[in-house]
Amino acid sequence: MFTQDHARAISKKLGCTSREGRAHQYADLFEGGKLVASFGIRRASKQVGHGHIPKDLHLTQKQCWELHDCSMSKEAYLHHLRGKNLV
Amino acid sequence: MTESTKRTLFLPDTPPSPPGPLQYIHGTAQVRAGVHGGFVESYSILDSDYDVLLTQHAVGEKWALVNESEFLLQERTVRIDPGDYVQELQQHLRAAFGYTERISSLCVRLESTEATLCTVLKKLDRTASYQRPLWVPIESFAPEPYELTKPITLVVSPSDDGFEASFYDGELHASGETEGEAISNLKALILDTFEAFERLGEERLGPAPLRQWKILKTLIRRTGT
């Protein structure tokens, strides 16, 4: 289960910009000056589910864990987005 | 290896007469048998060299005396290796203990299987009630100063640890511990995204955000400041 800790780790790895929102803190990924992906991190004292993150990052669950676990680098992730014409 | 001789006494089917307590002594063997209505009910062998085979049984109360010719039907001599006999006895004992242990093990496994089955059934019940996605129409963002130009539909489905609400047209998803929280989070996310994209401007949006923006700006309109 993805939690806010996983979300923050991914945000840090991708070098995302942080943005405050109503119910979430957002992690925005800019590439070439353009926003290419964004995901919300819930504000909660305990660890809560963030099952939406893979969809927000245009990844499968497995790929998203790979991104978190370092087996997928930021470059590999951007390459993945380019392959989908999302960059 | 030592060998010994063991004889088998075959008791008659016909009753001894008259009915009552009986005792049979043949050579070194002493055999007691109980009869009721003439049928042998039980027996005990006083000489261990003999093994008695009963052919009929009945519940008896009285004992009768019988003579040798009535009691002894035939006598057979067999040669038995005591070593084999002990080995066979050990095998029987091992089998009996093994059987008991196996039954005990099976009982434990059965209890475990029963507990697992109960858990699976509970999960199935829960899954049956949760798995169906919920379609939730949204017609307003009140009290936020935004309105919808037309109603949108959110889809709420169970996720790892709660629920996930999705607005598929806008490619937006949010999680929550309950269906209501997931919907509320998604409505907040839609407005946050709308405001962020409006602030950034189309020139700073990549392909996916730009697509989302084009959808959102046709659906959402600001009503106040």
pTM for the predicted model, two decimal places: 0.59
From A58, A22, B157, A2, select the one nearest B166 (Cα to Cα): B157
Q: Which residues of A touch B183 (CB under 8 A)?
A: none
From A41, A32, A31, select the one nearest A3 (Cα to Cα): A41
> Could you read off the pLDDT of B130-147 as tens digits, one per residue?
567 889 999 999 899 999
Interface of B with A (CB under 8 A): 159-162, 164, 166, 171, 173-175, 177, 184-185, 188-189, 191-193, 196-197, 200, 204-209
Give B52's pLDDT tier (boundaries 50, 70, 90): very low
Radius of gyration (C-alpha) of chain B in whole angstroms: 45
Residues B76 and B149 in one domain: no
If one counts the domains in chain B, the total is 2
- Average confidence score pLDDT of chain A: 92
DSSP of A14-44: HTPEEEE-SSEEEEEEEETTEEEEEEEEE--
Domain with A53, as residue range(s), is 4-83
> Could you read off the pLDDT of A67-82 as tens digits, one per residue?
999 889 999 999 999 9
* Cβ atoms of residues A80 and A66 within 8 Å: no
Domain with B17, as residue range(s), is 4-83
Q: Which of B54, B83, B112 is the last residue of a domain?
A: B83
The better pLDDT of the pair A3, B124 is held by A3
Beta-carbon contacts of residue B181 (< 8 Å; ≥ 6 apart) = B162, B163
Look at residue B145 and tell me if it is in a domain: yes
pLDDT at B80: 58
Q: Tell me what the mean pLDDT of segment B94-119 comes to.
A: 89
Give A47's pLDDT tier (boundaries 50, 70, 90): confident
Look at residue B114 and tell me if it is in a domain: no
Answer whether A51 sits within 8 Å of B177, measured CB to CB. no
pLDDT at B17: 52
pLDDT at A20: 93
- Average confidence score pLDDT of chain B: 72
Which of B166, B188, B206 comes nearest A34 by C-beta? Answer: B206
Look at residue B33 and tell me if it is in a domain: yes
Answer whether B174 sits within 8 Å of A40, measured CB to CB. yes
pLDDT at B85: 75
Q: Which two tokens stand for residue B40?
A: 């042998």
Q: Tell me what the mean pLDDT of segment B24-35 comes to.
A: 45
Look at residue B125 and tell me if it is in a domain: no
CA dist B111 and B135 (Å) reads: 41
Task: Order across the sheet with B39-45: list the strands.
Answer: B22-26, B29-36, B39-45
| Residue given tokens 């005396």 in the structure block | B65
Answer whether B196 sits within 8 Å of A24, measured CB to CB. no
pLDDT at B26: 44
Which of A26, A48, A87 comes nearest B161 by C-beta? Answer: A48
Q: Which residues of B touch A45 (CB under 8 A)?
A: none
If one counts the domains in chain A, the total is 1
